[in-house]
Structure 1
């Protein structure tokens, strides 16, 4: 027998908030890392400097994309929770009217 789907919109909202907090903390750490990389860059010259700079820029783009995706996931969590709750309430109202 299949099990019924059980969702708790409050928990989904809480998960979105937790994800946002973790993402914010990660962004802060990545900003500190970026500053440290810029400081470390001063010792690099010539071809090595160019390679270092290219790698640093790649890391920054990748980190920004990851953070943006985590923001999108948190937004999706919030939308899903709101939609589930609205659907559940509408169906409960329809059920109550039918009974």
Structure 2
């Protein structure tokens, strides 16, 4: 669901057949999207690692908002488990990253 979380959410597949933990994850994702969607139209999109290519090891997309910077990061086919995201707007600032909160 992260693929659409910072733009316009969409669902596909056999959603009526999802049960258990997967159903709860979809439900949680949609609830979170409803919480943040009012901010999406106000955000300016940016790609910290540049526009992606199929060969990239990592991909990242974010929205610049006045007080927040929601960011999605995908690990594609990287041997490493860490990536440095160059975000000049955050340089020399105190940053408090949080996962899943807005």
Does the TM-score normalized on the shorter chain lie above 0.5?
Answer: no
Q: TM-score, normalized by length of structure 2?
A: 0.26
RCO higher in structure (CA 8 A, sep ≥6): 1
Q: TM-score, normalized by length of structure 1?
A: 0.27
Report which of the two has the higher share of helix. Answer: 1
Report which of the two has the higher share of strand. Answer: 2
Which one has a bigger Cα radius of gyration? 1
